[in-house]
Chains A and B, each alone.
Chain A
Amino acid sequence: MHNIYLDYAATTPVDKRVAKAMWHCLTADDLFGNAASEHQYGAQAQALIATARQQVAELINADSNEIIFTSGATEANNLAIKGVARHYQTSGKHIITSKIEHKSVLESCAQLAAEGFEITYLTPNKNGVIDVAELIAAVRDDTILISVMYVNNETGAIQNIPAIAEFAQSKQIILHVDAVQAIGKFIIDLKALPINLLSLSAHKIYGPKGIGALFIRNTPKIRLQAQMHGGGHEFNLRSGTLPTHQIVGMGMACNIAQQQLPKDNLRINQLRHQLWTGIQELPAVYLNTDLNNSVSNILNVSFGLVQGEALQMALHELAVSSGAACTSANLEPSYVLHAMGVADELAQSAIRFSLGRMTTEKEIKAAIKIVRENVMKLREISPLTM
């Protein structure tokens, strides 16, 4: 029996078109040159990278020279947060972020706190959304950075970035947005949203793992302290030979995402609706995803009266997540759900289903069957149900 993959928010398979394009940047008979080289091999690589850079920029309506390539969104988040903090610390040492950010944001902030910065962590409401009024109230004279994710990876909740961006701009406070789970799910127009810094990742949009980007707005000019020093690549902001194959992969993934965005998301939204309809026939199931304010592909559900680890074992034919993928090395209960006020008993039995481009209706039907059968079985085994 084949496993059913419903963990697209953790990672996606590389689109075959992307893999093909990447392949042509590898071997001796192909375009393997170092883009920094002055000769023809370098020029060829440069051309490919220029195209890819433009493709990434187009997805978010930015300028090509506002895109810096990194090893992923974790690195982009580190560069944005530490880069801004260390450059602007003479103006202030206060940073505002949220309790539901990705670990790469939280740990970067924790590191800065250890260096003497003060961090305010905003609490989301029960739907997983940060209150803009609370954010505004948290601003101080020494606030130098606001970092809020666009879409939460566990629940799919969409933050009110337009309002936050407008406010940050009015106060001239730098705004960083981790857009990893937002890219390719809905349109992000950086000519309309005054966001200063935006993090992207390729492996959530059918590109390869190990490549991401940081958008850095040209105007108003902001400076970052580089975190990777060396040959001065990417405007001295991120040294390291550019991985042509990775960048080409990311560019193509962005290009495909832009083209398929409306059709993909309509289909995925319908499948998610089907999945939830099937699951909610069970008693005592609770939505942690606000279906009216979330990306189309994420469905986070808590199953009452069953223990979380037993549930994960029982659902072993489904590739799903319990808590965030990055923190599942040890089974700690979800800090995101905890911040939202979800009771521990329900947080520990939460399952995140995340759909994708390859998800079929057949898979959804099979998943519904597997979930219903096993939840009912575990409830029969449990002393909590009569």
Chain B
Amino acid sequence: MLYNQKILSCYQKIRNVGELDINDPNVGTGILGSVAYGNLMKLQILVKQNKIIDAKFKVYGCGFAIAAVYLVTELIKQKTIEQAKAINYADSITKSLDFPSAKTHCANLAQNLAMLAIDDYCKKNHN
């Protein structure tokens, strides 16, 4: 399956594409995958006073991978670090975007990516 209506809709109205300054101490960055693997995902969060005030992403991957990471940016914005850690992104993604079982690994990758970005911020700020 290449896409469903929800995935297509995400692609058509997509937002939060872009990059933040990786050297900014308030930015947490997560990167995973590779071109050879067919999926390369990047997620960055900007944190001010323990709150994620912005999130930007880039994805090289299928429509499901793009939609998954995009949804992460929407879910993670305006959350505190603690709240952000507690969200089950994979679950939200597969349910609200009608992921077929063959594509759940994209949702899991997006979940891992969210944790990587949060962990990176925390490491930089000794949380």
Contacts and interface: CB of A to CB of B under 8 A. Distances in A.
Contact of B60 (A312, A314, A316, A383): A383
A384 B62 contact: no
A313 interface: yes
B3 A348 contact: no
Contacts of B35: 345, 384
B11 A382 contact: no
Nearest to B40: A383
A316 to B, nearest CB: 7
Given A316-B8, A382-B58, A384-B40, A309 B63 contact: yes
A305 B63 CA distance: 15
B8 A381 contact: no
Contacts of B63: 309-310, 313-314
Given A312-B2, A381-B66, A307 B7 contact: no
B59 interface: yes
B2 A381 contact: no
B17 A380 contact: yes
Nearest to B38: A307
A383 B59 contact: yes
A314 to B, nearest CB: 7
Contacts of A313: 2-3, 7-8, 11, 62-63
A305 B61 CA distance: 10
B2 A307 contact: no
B59 A382 contact: yes
Q: Which of A312, A345, A348, A381: most chain B Cβ within 10 A?
A: A381
B22 interface: no
B81 to A, nearest CB: 24
Contacts of B58: 381-383
A158 to B, nearest CB: 31
A384 B7 contact: no
A382 B3 contact: no
Interface string B34-77: 01101111100000000000000011111101100000000000
Size category of the binding interface on chain B: 20 to 34
A314 B42 CA distance: 20
Nearest to A380: B17
Interface string B74-111: 00000000000000000000000000000000000000
A380 B57 CA distance: 11
Contacts of A382: 40, 58-60
Given A307-B60, A313-B2, A316-B3, A381 B38 contact: no
A343 B106 CA distance: 24
B61 A310 contact: yes
A345 B39 CA distance: 12
A383 B42 contact: yes
Interface string A339-359: 000001100100000000000
B62 A309 contact: yes
B14 A381 contact: yes
B76 to A, nearest CB: 18
A314 B7 CA distance: 10
Interface in A303-356: 305-307, 309-310, 312-314, 316, 344-345, 348
Interface string A371-386: 0000000001111100
A382 B69 CA distance: 12
Contacts of A381: 14, 17, 58-59, 66
Contacts of A344: 36
A381 B17 CA distance: 6
Given A307-B62, A381-B58, A314 B11 contact: yes
Contacts of B8: 313, 316
Given A313-B3, A384-B35, A307 B61 contact: yes
B62 A310 contact: yes
B117 to A, nearest CB: 14
Contacts of A383: 31, 40-42, 58-60
A68 B14 CA distance: 55
12 contacts: A307-B62, A312-B2, A316-B3, A316-B8, A345-B35, A381-B14, A381-B66, A382-B59, A383-B31, A383-B58, A383-B59, A384-B40
Of all A-B residue pairs in the complex, the 10 with the closest CB atoms, nearest first, are A309-B62, A383-B58, A313-B63, A313-B3, A382-B60, A383-B42, A313-B2, A312-B2, A381-B17, A310-B63
Given A312-B2, A344-B36, 8 more contacts: A307-B38, A307-B61, A310-B65, A313-B7, A313-B63, A314-B63, A382-B40, A382-B59
Interface of B: 2-3, 7-8, 11, 14, 17, 31, 35-36, 38-42, 58-63, 65-66
